């Protein structure tokens, strides 16, 4: 008998369509024979301001200890987070990026015979994490590119254990208003875990931020996730977290790898959390950059989805063609056709002023090719 070992994997794993990350700079340089320094990457919603000096110093100090395993409990970072957000340390779950924390939710609460609800055009990891556990995904049609919370509440069925909400959402940049969101959390049965993924929370003006951490007291089924990858500028280190009631945090911690966050990331995140100035500057720079991209798109006669994140999703028509023309000009953005169902749009991350200019002029040229 000729056994294909691949067949030993459950069919729901074999049929997974892997996550498509933004094209790395080094890959484009190899493919096009370009110099890496000449390439602009605006494809993964990273922070163009890099790492703050205090955070860098903390990383350098941590380098001396890399021969040792990290603190598997992440004590220092948990203390800092619990102080900042007024929660108990037992309410914090640390992850290798917030992506890891989302996987922990799926691992702890999903499996065959269960379902999870998410929105059309929502972050790609929700359907992936759901399917990888053998659970059934329920994709709810979007409303004005954003989450249709009414329809999502109605879509919850007897098998639903998790509802995923990205706020703001990636790749659309849409935001659900705080009152509508809490009404939604109230409406979803308590036996269903509601994940509110706030990866872009720090890019919101204070008056638009939902008080989700306070809601944890009233809603034992709520999980709030955040990351150090965006406004804190630590995407390459991989560190994120979830806040939840202690019981929920406890089950998530049970399925966590013992040392899922590395020691440099732990030290950097604790330092970055205290560097409020860096985050405030990143917020201000992002507002300016978003304005620059919006104005540039408008001048080119292009529509875009109003964004509350550090990116703008622009309707360019034949997006795959424009994407390739931009690559030839050394500019990497993110197509959002395939996995995201937006074949006429491209998502561009807010870069530095010069990077945004470079993108806009490359886009103008690519539209004419």
Within the chain, strands assigned E span 40-41, 92-95, 115-119, 136-140, 160-166, 193-197, 222-227, 240-244, 304-305, 311-315, 331-332, 334-335, 345-349
Question: Residue 97: which residues within 8 A CB-CB, separation 6 or more?
Answer: 227, 229, 235, 238, 239, 240
Q: Which is nearer to ligand PLP, 47 or 99 (CB)?
A: 99
Residue 18: exposed, middle, or buried by beta-carbon count in 10 A (0-12, 13-18, 19+)? exposed
Report the residue number, 242 or 322, with the smaller CB distance to ligand PLP: 242
Euclidean distance between CA atoms 130 and 111, whole angstroms: 8
* Residue 162 interacts with ligand PLP (CB under 6 A): yes or no: no
Which is closer to ligand PLP, CB of 329 or CB of 342? 342
Verify binding: residue 166, ligand PLP, rule CB under 6 A.
yes
Q: Which two tokens stand for residue 322?
A: 């424009």
**Which one of 174, 227, 245, 366 is in contact with ligand PLP (CB under 6 A)?**
227
Site string for ligand PLP, 105-134 (x = CB under 6 A): ------------------x-----------
Of the pair 74, 325, the CB lying nearest ligand PLP is at 74
- Candidate residues 47, 55, 91, 99; the one interacting with ligand PLP per rule CB under 6 A: 99
Indicate whether 203 belongs to the interface with ligand PLP (CB under 6 A): no
Give the nearest distance from C-beta 7 to ligand PLP in angstroms: 31
Can you read off the two tokens belonging to residue 211? 């008080």
- Helix/strand/coil for 67: coil
Q: What is the largest CA-CA distance in the chain?
A: 65
- Regarding 103 and contact with ligand PLP (CB under 6 A), the answer is no
191 neighbors 163 (Cβ within 8 angstroms): no
Out of 47, 91, 160, 170, which residue is the one contacting ligand PLP (CB under 6 A)? 170
Q: Nearest Cα to 192, choosing from 120, 260, 122, 138?
A: 138
Q: Which residue's structure tokens are 């304005």?
A: 291
Residue of this chain nearest to ligand PLP (CB atom) = 97
Which residue among 140, 195, 199, 204 contacts ligand PLP (CB under 6 A)?
199
Task: Please pick, from the candidates 119, 229, 260, 307, the single residue that binds ligand PLP as defined by CB under 6 A.
Answer: 229
Task: List residues near ligand PLP by CB under 6 A.
Answer: 45, 97-99, 123, 166, 170, 197, 199, 227, 229, 235, 240
């Amino acid at each position: 008998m000729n056994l294909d070992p691949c067949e030993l994997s459950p069919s729901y794993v074999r049929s997974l369509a892997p996550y498509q990350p933004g094209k790395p700079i080094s890959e484009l340089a190899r493919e096009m024979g370009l110099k890496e320094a000449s390439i602009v990457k605006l494809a993964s919603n990273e922070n163009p301001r890099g790492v703050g000096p205090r955070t860098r110093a903390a990383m350098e100090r941590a380098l001396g200890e890399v021969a040792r395993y990290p603190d598997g409990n992440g004590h220092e970072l948990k203390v800092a987070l619990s102080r900042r957000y007024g929660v108990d340390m037992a309410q914090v779950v640390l992850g290798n990026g917030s992506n890891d924390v989302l996987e922990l939710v799926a691992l702890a609460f999903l499996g065959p015979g269960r379902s999870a609800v998410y929105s059309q055009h929502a972050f790609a990891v929700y359907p992936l994490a759901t399917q990888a556990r053998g659970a059934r995904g329920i994709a709810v049609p979007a409303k004005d590119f954003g989450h249709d919370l009414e329809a999502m509440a109605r879509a919850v069925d007897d098998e639903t254990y998790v509802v995923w909400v990205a706020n703001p959402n990636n790749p659309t940049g849409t935001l659900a208003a705080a009152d509508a969101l809490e009404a939604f959390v109230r409406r979803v049965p308590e036996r269903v875990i509601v994940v509110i993924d706030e990866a872009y929370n720090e890019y919101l003006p204070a008056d638009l931020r939902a008080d989700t951490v306070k809601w944890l007291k009233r809603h034992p089924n709520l999980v709030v996730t955040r990351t150090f990858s965006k406004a804190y500028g630590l995407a390459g280190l991989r560190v994120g977290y979830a806040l939840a009631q202690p019981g929920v945090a406890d089950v998530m911690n049970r399925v966590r790898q013992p040392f899922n966050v590395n020691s440099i990331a732990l030290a950097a995140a604790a330092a970055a959390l205290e560097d409020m100035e860096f985050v405030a500057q990143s917020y201000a720079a992002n507002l300016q950059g978003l304005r620059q991209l919006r104005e540039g798109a408008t001048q080119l006669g292009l529509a875009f989805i109003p964004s509350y994140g550090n990116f703008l999703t622009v309707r360019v028509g034949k997006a795959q063609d424009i994407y390739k023309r931009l690559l030839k000009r050394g500019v990497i953005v993110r197509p959002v056709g395939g996995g995201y169902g937006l074949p006429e749009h491209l998502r561009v991350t807010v870069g530095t002023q010069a990077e945004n200019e470079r993108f806009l002029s490359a886009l103008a040229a690519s539209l004419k090719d």
